[in-house]
A = this chain, B = another copy of it.
Amino acid sequence: MSSDISPVSGITRRPGGVRAAVQVMAGYTPGEQPRDGQWIKLNTNENPYPPSPRVIEALHGAITGDRLRKYPDPLGTAFRHTAARILDIDPDSIIIGNGSDDILTIVTRTFVSQDGVVAACTPSYVLYRSLAEIQGARFREAPFGSDWSLPPPFVFHEADLVFLPNPNSPSGTMVSSQVLASWIDELGRPIVIDEAYVDFADQNALRLAANSNIVVTRSLSKSYSLAGLRFGFGVAQPAVIREMLKVKDSYNCDALSLVAAQAALEDQDHLRQTRAKILATRRRLEENLRLLGYDVTPSQANFVWCRRHDRPVRPIFDELKRRQILVRYMSFAGYGDGLRISVGTDAEIDRLLDELRRIG
């Protein structure tokens, strides 16, 4: 293909006909996923405990030739009714997703035109920038306050869509629903409240999804230990959900993940038990990191964000990796760097703390 200028888009066409917006972007890099079992993985916020035994049982029961050979229910009706009952919301206010990343993509494509504007606070989940870039939209960011408070809403006045993870990553901090409600009201723009980590927090903002500007997203990857199965969902007014349904792939969720997700939500006791263990380990991790001289941000998620004011943390990350412990090193322009450490089992966190003491 030639390197001509497309008269319609004004974008230079590169060899192969790939959109310039795609060619110039680096692409989102997910956390490392080593495939052997020797690593202590504290880098992608997976749950260290297995999913509910009811999920395992339901999956084995669901593996029939008939279920595999037929297309799944495109709307996930059975799952939506279960989720609606447990969360006390309208089934028609729920859209199913192939992980909550799928929902984030669907929302972006529903609300943001090419040359539109996606906005987010920083430091935050770096995928939001990638979603803007893929769509060909501009990305605007504004820093959180030093106490992780929200910037004034007017800084996002031109946004077609704002992403706000709550709890935020990498900080693990949370904006209260009350503050959030008035901030969104003043914002007056469509917003995604990304509640991927909310099951580890003291509160959530699901009720706000009754407002027309708001989509709340949930993931089963973290709190329900189902990262491998890819399941999440979005909650919004039914009129907004109907628009999002036009954008999603018809059969975006497979028959087994639908069964597993439903079984996972049915076992709220398992969620409570797993959550209690992770919160206890999180507290211990925070306390011990402080004793080791780290600046630790109090977390409402299943990870802890820590920094050092006395030296760079990149060498600590490298040393941990050399010892087969993976955490996430993150650096943000105008902010600095830090380590995001997922809350593992007690044994994993003990091993991490031992190595950190040795590294000194």
A residues at B contact (CB < 8 Å) = 1, 6, 8-9, 11, 15-19, 21-23, 25-28, 30-31, 33, 35, 41, 44, 46-51, 55-56, 59-60, 63-74, 77, 98-99, 101-102, 105, 109-117, 130, 134, 136, 160-161, 188-190, 212-213, 221, 225-230, 237, 239-240, 243, 245-247, 249-257, 260
B68→A1 contact, CB < 8 A: no
A6/B113 contact (C-beta < 8 A), A1-B213, A69-B50, A225-B69 known: yes
A65→B250 contact, CB < 8 A: no
Q: Which single member of B8, B68, B190, B221 contacts A51 (CB below 8 Å)?
A: B68
Q: Give bound CA distance, A212 to B18, whole Å.
A: 11
B65→A56 contact, CB < 8 A: yes
A8→B112 contact, CB < 8 A: no
**Residues of the B chain whose Cβ atoms lie less than 8 Å from the Cβ of A55:** 68
A249/B47 contact (C-beta < 8 A), A69-B228, A70-B227 known: no
B9→A113 contact, CB < 8 A: yes
Q: Which single member of B9, B16, B46, B190 contacts A240 (CB below 8 Å)?
A: B16
Which residue of chain B lies nearest to A239 when distances are taken between CB atoms in the complex? B16
Main DSSP-derived SS at the A contact region:
loop
Q: Which single member of B33, B71, B240, B260 contacts A71 (CB below 8 Å)?
A: B33
B69→A227 contact, CB < 8 A: yes
**Residues of the B chain whose Cβ atoms lie less than 8 Å from the Cβ of A134:** 109, 246-247
**Residues of the B chain whose Cβ atoms lie less than 8 Å from the Cβ of A109:** 19, 22, 134
B65→A19 contact, CB < 8 A: no
**Residues of the B chain whose Cβ atoms lie less than 8 Å from the Cβ of A243:** 16, 18, 22-23
**Residues of the B chain whose Cβ atoms lie less than 8 Å from the Cβ of A68:** 50-51, 55-56, 225-229, 260
**Closest chain B CB from A2 CB (angstroms):** 9
Q: Which single member of B47, B249, B256 contacts A105 (CB below 8 Å)?
A: B249
Q: Give bound CA distance, A227 to B109, whole Å.
A: 25
Q: Give bound CA distance, A12 to B71, whole Å.
A: 37
A230/B74 contact (C-beta < 8 A), A65-B56, A134-B246, A251-B99 known: no
Leading 4 A-B pairs by shortest Cβ distance: A50-B65, A27-B246, A228-B255, A114-B114
Q: Give bound CA distance, A102 to B115, whole Å.
A: 24
Q: Give bound CA distance, A136 to B49, whole Å.
A: 43
Which residue of chain B lies nearest to A67 when distances are taken between CB atoms in the complex? B228
**Residues of the B chain whose Cβ atoms lie less than 8 Å from the Cβ of A250:** 28, 30, 101
Which residue of chain B lies nearest to A27 when distances are taken between CB atoms in the complex? B246
Please indicate which of the listed interface residues A68, A73, A243 has the most CB atoms of chain B within 10 Å of its own CB.
A68
**Residues of the B chain whose Cβ atoms lie less than 8 Å from the Cβ of A27:** 245-246
The 22 listed contacts between A and B (C-beta, < 8 Å) are: A1-B213, A6-B116, A9-B114, A15-B212, A16-B243, A17-B161, A18-B240, A19-B112, A22-B110, A22-B243, A25-B246, A28-B250, A33-B70, A44-B71, A48-B69, A50-B65, A56-B68, A60-B63, A69-B226, A98-B252, A101-B250, A229-B255
